[in-house]
Amino acid sequence: MRKPLERQFLAGRPIDCVSLLDSSDLSVAQDHCATFLTKFPRNSSNIASIGRIAIQSFCSPLCEYSDKESEMLSFIRLLKSMLMVSNAVAIVTFPPSMLSPSSSTRLQHMADTLLSVKAIPDGDKELEKLLTGYKDINGFLNIHKVARINTQVPVILEAKTFSMSLKKRRFLALECLNQAPVDGSSGTSYGTSGSCSGSSKSGALDF
């Protein structure tokens, strides 16, 4: 970080890990988060660091509470309310396919910043024609929503979809999707042909 203020926020790194696999409900995680966030009150004049909470695979079927969707929604709602009065952030990942469509939509609606990750299928000939550097791409990152503070003006991003590739098996690189060049010899792109005419017969409006 270049700015002293950013270095100040990220100087301290309080880390506290807890497993939810053996919990029959989310009350333990709720109490744990509440205790952790008391260390970072927002009304404090001296901000030494920012608390960070990371919850991975929140609705995983390996957890005993995975079939209690109402409790999971209540937990996220309560966690968000606690974060609003704390100098802390939280990142939560969950597979949407493990929830009902209504619960998945409600979870996404409660997020301030919403991202989705999709793996790229192997041997997809259509994508290989569409994208430059297809063989180096491991997946896609889509930006659905970006947090805005003290304003109602939405963020207009230059790009919402990025390709993810692993560099030297150590670094994850994000790049804007690059479209494959057009085949000038045939006048078409990506190995496909198209026509703006609804009929095979030539006419004055064909182009």
Q: pLDDT tens digits for the chain (207 residues)?
A: 334 445 544 455 566 667 777 777 888 889 989 999 988 888 756 667 788 888 888 888 888 888 888 999 999 999 999 998 888 889 898 888 888 899 989 999 999 999 999 888 777 777 777 777 777 788 889 998 888 877 778 788 888 888 888 877 778 888 887 655 555 554 444 444 333 344 444 444 443
Question: Tokens 């109490």 belong to which residue?
Answer: 31
**Which pLDDT score, from 0 to 100, does residue 11 have?**
52
**Which pLDDT score, from 0 to 100, does residue 76 have?**
93
Rounded Cα–Cα distance for residues 160 and 106 (Å): 21
**Which pLDDT score, from 0 to 100, does residue 57 have?**
85
Question: Tokens 């180096």 belong to which residue?
Answer: 136
Q: In the Cβ-directed half-sphere of 79, how many Cα atoms lie within 13 Å?
A: 29
The answer to pTM > 0.85 is: no
Rounded Cα–Cα distance for residues 195 and 61 (Å): 48
**Which pLDDT score, from 0 to 100, does residue 200 have?**
44
Contacts of 3 (CB under 8 A, 6+ apart): none
Rounded Cα–Cα distance for residues 83 and 64 (Å): 25
**Which pLDDT score, from 0 to 100, does residue 17 have?**
67
SS3 113: coil
Helix 69-83 to helix 27-37 angle, to the nearest 10 degrees? 10
Q: Contacts from 62-65 at CB under 8 Å and sequence distance 24+? A: 62/21, 63/20, 63/21, 63/23, 64/22, 64/23, 64/24, 64/25, 65/20, 65/23, 65/24, 65/25, 65/26
**Which pLDDT score, from 0 to 100, does residue 115 have?**
92
37 with 2: CB under 8 angstroms? no
**Which pLDDT score, from 0 to 100, does residue 44 have?**
59
- Segments in the chain forming alpha helices (H): 4-9, 27-37, 69-83, 101-110, 125-130
Question: Tokens 């990506």 belong to which residue?
Answer: 190
**Which tens digits make up the pLDDT trace of 5-26?**
455 444 555 666 677 777 778 8
Rounded Cα–Cα distance for residues 113 and 174 (Å): 17
Residue 54, Cα to own-chain centre: how many angstroms?
13
Measured in degrees and rounded to the nearest 5, phi and psi for residue 81 equal -65, -35
Q: In the Cβ-directed half-sphere of 150, how many Cα atoms lie within 13 Å?
A: 0
What single-letter amino acid sits at 148? R
**Which pLDDT score, from 0 to 100, does residue 74 have?**
93
